[in-house]
């Protein structure tokens, strides 16, 4: 089943546009540069070390800029920020419970009218990601940019509270969920 989700933009495209605007990304230069770093570090350090020490510093967190640019009126920005925190937390918990994998910047979308997080592409369910050549070990995607979008409290504010509430709501309504 294919369905178009109106008013949404993928995380990867949002961030790429922000980094291009800030002068931090140029497809012609940046992609080969990252590949060169990856090739040079292969075998010398773990991939997570390479990512943390070499790649991530090239792209400081900037997702908050999307909220500022998209929701310029303060009340609209606040509503979008709360919606983002709520929906990102719910999707994170639901995705973890059903073993949803393949969460990359093109499968996580954001609604430019509400700030809602919307996930697409559910072909990697029930921990199928653990059987990939490079197993997906994280329970859900929460990158430095997604944390940046959560504002000053990061993941320890609204996001954490909704993460705590979501499993009990799902348990309370398990019959409805199982019959769907």
CB of 40 closer than 8 Å to CB of 145:
no
Tokens 């990697």 correspond to: 124
Q: What is the DSSP letter of 101?
A: -
pTM of the model: 0.84
Tally of helices (H runs) and strands (E runs) in the chain: 8, 3
Tokens 């990102």 correspond to: 88
Q: Is the pLDDT of residue 69 over 90?
A: yes
CA–CA separation, 106 vs 12, rounded Å?
6
Average pLDDT over residues 58-75: 94
Q: Is the pLDDT of residue 41 over 80?
A: no
Read off the pLDDT band of 1 (50, 70, 90): low
Look at residue 46 and give its three-state secondary structure: coil
* Backbone phi, psi, residue 155, to 5°: -85, 0
At residue 114, the pLDDT reads: 97
Domain 8-24+59-179 is found in CATH 1.20.1440.230: no
Look at residue 151 and give its three-state secondary structure: helix
């Amino acid at each position: 089943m294919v369905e178009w989700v109106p008013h949404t933009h993928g995380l990867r495209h949002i961030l790429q546009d922000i980094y291009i605007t800030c002068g931090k990304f140029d497809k012609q230069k940046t992609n080969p540069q990252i590949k060169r770093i990856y090739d040079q570090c292969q075998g010398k350090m773990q991939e997570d070390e390479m990512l943390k020490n070499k790649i991530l510093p090239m792209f400081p967190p900037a997702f908050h800029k999307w909220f500022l640019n998209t929701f310029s009126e303060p009340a609209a920005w606040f509503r979008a920020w709360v919606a983002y925190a709520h929906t990102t937390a719910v999707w994170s918990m639901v995705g973890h419970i059903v073993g949803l994998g393949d969460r990359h910047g093109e499968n996580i979308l954001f609604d430019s009218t509400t700030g809602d997080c919307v996930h697409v592409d559910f072909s990697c369910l029930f921990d199928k990601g653990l059987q990939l050549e490079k197993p997906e070990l994280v329970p859900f995607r929460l990158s430095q940019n997604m944390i940046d979008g959560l504002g000053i409290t990061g993941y320890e504010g609204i996001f954490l509270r909704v993460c705590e509430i979501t499993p009990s709501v799902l348990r309370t309504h398990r019959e409805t969920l199982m019959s769907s």
